[in-house]
């Protein structure tokens, strides 16, 4: 797998492969908690709207065939919404697990690169030190510690330590056959790291379109409005509907949290990457 990736990557990831770190700040978008609370409020408004509509509609509109037809329609919408919610949760969890494994793979590639350079000889000590300096800017970029919003890859500023490390690797002059092999392996590891960082950054912004989420919330609002349309609201029924609405909003929160795995309450740990390389022994 590694060989297949690197045959194409070694030629592509040139000096620009290490251009990472600071990103200009942009306008912040609502986070998963804010959006799920907004969904909760919208569903509650749907419940209240159904109750208000119940009091304004003629009695014969809420009985007999009309009642059966509305219940069948809301059941159909409820089935569709349940299927979509289940698929979204499953998809978001799978994406979350994939990106968590990519972080671990990136940490492993960093360790392999460091050991390859160590095997090469003492002349790579400066490069190994620069790699350690470059890790923190990579973390800040992927986990959005310096900026909140996604920016195109071309707008990412240069990581000076990583850029210099790549230059020093390219200027190594192997004097033995083993050193030639190790230098080639180091370039391959550089390609793996560059690919992983670009991929993680591109994936970190999430992939659920707002119109899709809007339609899902509309379905949920219709369902809850149909509940209060045929059932008089009292303290018990309203409390139960509030709990149900909170549960639905909680499902939206889980989806949005896992769809943004590098921010929020359920973010992927940065510790495997931060502690991948031990300090150099002086």
DSSP state of 21: S
User: pLDDT tens digits, residue range 23-55?
Assistant: 333 345 578 899 999 999 999 999 999 999 888
Angstrom distance (rounded) from CA 2 to CA 261: 25
Angstrom distance (rounded) from CA 97 to CA 173: 41
Q: Give DSSP secondary structure letters for 48-76.
A: HHHHHHHHHS-GGGGSHHHHHHHHHHHHH
Angstrom distance (rounded) from CA 181 to CA 177: 6
- Please give the share of the chain, as a percent, with pLDDT higher than 70: 83
CA distances from residue 95 to 83, 176, 263, 280 in whole angstroms, order as listed: 18, 44, 14, 35
* Sequence-ordered list of residues with C-beta below 8 angstroms from that of 152, at least 6 positions apart, any chain: none
Count Cβ atoms within 10 A of the Cβ of residue 6 and give its class: 0-12 exposed, 13-18 middle, 19 or more buried: buried
- The dihedrals phi and psi of 55, each to the nearest 5 degrees, come to -80, -15
37 and 249 Cβ atoms separated by less than 8 Å: yes
| pLDDT at 258 > cutoff 70 | yes
158 compared with 119, residue with greater pLDDT? 119
pTM: 0.74
Which sequence spans correspond to the domains of the chain? 33-56+72-125+176-274
| pLDDT at 207 > cutoff 70 | no
184 and 117 Cβ atoms separated by less than 8 Å: no
**Helices within the chain (DSSP H only):** 2-12, 32-56, 64-120, 125-142, 160-170, 177-203, 210-230, 235-259, 271-274
User: pLDDT tens digits, residue range 62-93?
Assistant: 777 888 888 889 899 999 999 999 999 998 89
Angstrom distance (rounded) from CA 179 to CA 202: 35
pLDDT at site 142: 83
| pLDDT at 116 > cutoff 70 | yes
User: pLDDT tens digits, residue range 126-180?
Assistant: 999 989 888 888 888 888 776 544 444 455 566 778 888 888 998 999 999 999 9
Q: What is the mean pLDDT of residues 255-275?
A: 88
């Amino acid at each position: 797998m590694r060989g297949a990736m690197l045959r194409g990557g070694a030629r592509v990831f040139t000096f620009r492969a290490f251009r990472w770190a600071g990103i200009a700040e942009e306008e912040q978008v609502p986070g998963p908690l804010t959006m799920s609370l907004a969904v909760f409020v919208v569903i509650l408004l749907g419940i209240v709207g159904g109750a208000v509509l119940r009091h304004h509609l003629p009695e014969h509109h809420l009985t007999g065939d009309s009642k059966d037809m509305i219940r069948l329609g809301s059941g159909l919408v409820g089935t569709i919404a349940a299927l979509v919610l289940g698929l979204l949760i499953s998809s978001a969890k799978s994406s979350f697990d994939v990106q968590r494994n990519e972080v671990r793979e990136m940490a492993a590639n960093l360790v392999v690169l460091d050991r390859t350079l160590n095997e090469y000889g003492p002349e790579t000590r400066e490069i190994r030190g620069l790699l350690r300096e470059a890790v923190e800017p990579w973390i800040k970029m992927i986990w959005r510690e310096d900026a909140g919003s996604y920016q195109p890859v071309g707008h990412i500023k240069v990581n000076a330590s990583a850029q210099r490390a790549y230059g020093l690797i390219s200027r190594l002059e192997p004097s033995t056959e083993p050193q030639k092999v190790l230098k080639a392996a180091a370039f391959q590891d550089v390609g793996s790291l560059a690919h992983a960082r670009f991929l993680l950054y591109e994936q970190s912004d999430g992939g659920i379109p707002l119109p899709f989420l809007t339609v899902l919330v509309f379905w949920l609002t219709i369902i809850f409005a149909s509940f209060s349309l045929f059932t008089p609201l009292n303290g018990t029924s309203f409390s139960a509907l509030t709990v149900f609405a909170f549960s639905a909003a909680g499902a939206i929160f889980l989806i949005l949290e896992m769809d943004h795995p590098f921010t929020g309450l359920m973010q992927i740990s940065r510790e495997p990457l931060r502690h991948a390389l031990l300090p150099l022994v002086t």
